[in-house]
Amino acid sequence: MSPERQLVTQLLQQWSEGSKDALDELIPVVYEQLRKLASNCLRAERPDHTLRATALVHEAYLRLVGTDVAWESRVHFYAVSARLLRRILVDHARTRNRQKRGAGAERIALDEAILVGPDSDAGILEIDEALQRLAKYDARKSQVIELLFFGGLTYDETATALSISPATVHRELAMAKAWLHKELSGNSA
């Protein structure tokens, strides 16, 4: 394990034990990685999106400070951060689309919504709702999608976070994408 990874894990453990100094030391160490996660999440958004990566990271920071999580590792921290970034984007999209929710929403594929999507406020809501339905059906498949697409984790990091093998991550991803494609395309048969 690299010295930086060890430092992050050590600071997370100290933070979990109540050390505010550890949090102050941790943020500069993880800030760039959180910005990369935020940039990955925002890549799918429309070009004139009002949130920027820095604002998204700052909002995530404010929410993380208030959490009481027993941090297990660096990967656990980034997995939780990815989920939090997704929640912030979904909340932002819901706020923005409050009046027109459901009116003329266009169905889009998961890969299209994540990789490109100038009109993705509606897309992110659809994906979130589909991921929630998938989580009820199979929570691990939903987590795989969340960690890989929203969290920007690698197959190995996702496998570690979920205590499964990279091969299982690949299988779960294939099945999850097929399930989501069916959901997002409106094919119920």
pLDDT given at position 103: 46
- Arithmetic mean of pLDDT over the chain: 78
The model's pTM is: 0.60
Range 168-179 average pLDDT: 90
The whole-angstrom separation of Cα 56 and Cα 143 is 21
How sure is the predictor about 120, in pLDDT bands with cuts at 50, 70 and 90?
very low
Max CA pair span of the chain: 55
Query: Structurally, how many domains does the chain consist of?
Result: 1
Assess contact for 113 and 123: CB atoms under 8 A.
yes
Q: For residue range 6-39, what is the model confidence (pLDDT) as tens digits?
A: 898 899 989 888 888 888 899 888 888 888 888 8
Distance from chain centroid for Cα 64: 14
- Does residue 136 register a pLDDT over 90? yes
Other C-beta atoms within 10 Å of 112: how many? 13
Measure the CA–CA gap between 60 and 158, rounded to whole angstroms.
Answer: 20
168 pLDDT above the threshold of 90: yes
pLDDT at residue 1 in the model: 64
Expressed as residue numbers, the domain containing 97 is 3-185
